[in-house]
Chain A
Amino acid sequence: MTNSTDSSPFAVSHHLEGTTGTLVLSGELDASSAPQVDQAVDALVADGAQQLVIDLGEVTFIDSSGLRTLIRARKRLGDADVVRLRNPQVGTVRLLEITGLTDQFPVV
C-alpha cells in the first residue's frame, strides 16, 4: 500500500511491508504539517504496522510540533524502540540532542 499527500511545502508518503511501516517526509515539519504525519501513522498502525521507519532525509525544517508527532508515533506503538529514523539532517539531529530525545529515536 502506498499513499501520498502533496501539500506544499510538506509531503508525506507511506507504505507497509510485513509489519514494518515506512514514512517518507519532505519539506517543513511544523504545527501545520504534523497532523499529516499523525494521520499516516494512524493508517499504518491500523493496517498492522508494529514498527516504523521514518525517513527524514528531505525534511528541511522541524520544530517542537514535529518532535511531538514523532513522540506520538512512538507512544502509539507502545513506547518501545520500534520507531527508527532514517537520514535525519543536521537540524533534526541538533533538535533531538537539545531536547534530550536522541536515545528514544535510533537512527538506521
Chain B
Amino acid sequence: MESNRVTLTFPAAVELVRLARLVASGLAAHVGLSMDDIEDLRIAVDELCALVVQHAVPDADVVLVLQPLDGGLAVEVRAPAGHNEAPFALDELSGHILNAAADEHHLSRDESWLVATLTKRREG
C-alpha cells in the first residue's frame, strides 16, 4: 500500500549508514517480520547503502525508500553518482551476504544516478 511507504534521506557519509539500518529494522518489526528476517534486512540494507555511499557524490542526498509488501518489504536506495572509478558492483563478500540475506537484489547506474534495490520476503 503506497501510504505505508517510508522514506529516509541522509547525507552520503559512511557514519550515517546506521540510520538506514535503524529505520529498516524498525519498519521490518512494525510490519511483523521475524527476528531472523529483521536481522537479514538490517545487514542487506547496510550493504546496499554502504555501496551507494561509496559511489555517490560526497554528502549528496541518499534516499532510502522502504515499501511494505504483502509478506515482506521492498527497498530502494538511490543517490547522485560520483566519480568513483571502481565498478558499481558487489565484491565477493557483499555478494555472499546479500545472496543469503535478501530474496532479490539489483544494482544499476547511469551517468547521473545510482540505484540499488532488494526485496525481503517473510520466511515460510
Q: A-side interface residues toward B, CB under 8 Å?
A: 9, 28, 30-32, 61, 63-65, 67-68, 91, 95, 98-100
Q: Assuming the A-B contacts A63-B47, A63-B50, A95-B43, are A30 and B93 also in contact, with contact meaning beta carbons closer than 8 angstroms in the complex?
A: no
A28 proximity list for chain B (CB < 8 A): 18
Q: Assuming the A-B contacts A9-B18, A61-B42, are A31 and B93 also in contact, with contact meaning beta carbons closer than 8 angstroms in the complex?
A: no
- Which one of B1-9, B26-34, B94-102, B104-112 contacts A? B94-102
A67 proximity list for chain B (CB < 8 A): 93
Q: B-side interface residues toward A, CB under 8 Å?
A: 14-15, 17-18, 21, 39, 42-43, 46-47, 50, 53-54, 91, 93-94, 96-97, 100-101
Q: Assuming the A-B contacts A9-B18, A61-B21, A91-B39, are A30 and B97 also in contact, with contact meaning beta carbons closer than 8 angstroms in the complex?
A: no
Dominant SS among interface residues on chain B? helix
Q: Assuming the A-B contacts A9-B18, A67-B93, A98-B96, are A30 and B39 also in contact, with contact meaning beta carbons closer than 8 angstroms in the complex?
A: no
B101 proximity list for chain A (CB < 8 A): 98
CA separation between A105 and B28, bound complex, in Å?
31
CA separation between A30 and B18, bound complex, in Å?
9
CB distance from A6 to the nearest CB of B (A): 15
| Listed A/B pairs (15) with beta-carbon separation below 8 Å | A30-B14, A30-B17, A31-B14, A31-B17, A31-B50, A61-B42, A61-B46, A63-B46, A63-B97, A64-B91, A65-B50, A67-B93, A98-B101, A99-B93, A100-B96
Q: Which residue from chain A places its CB closest to the CB of B39 in the assembled complex?
A: A91
Q: Which residue from chain B places its CB closest to the CB of A91 in the assembled complex?
A: B39
CB distance from A35 to the nearest CB of B (A): 10
Q: Is the CB of A30 within 8 A of B96?
A: no
Q: Which residue from chain B places its CB closest to the CB of A35 in the assembled complex?
A: B14
CA separation between A63 and B41, bound complex, in Å?
12
Q: Is the CB of B100 within 8 A of A30?
A: no
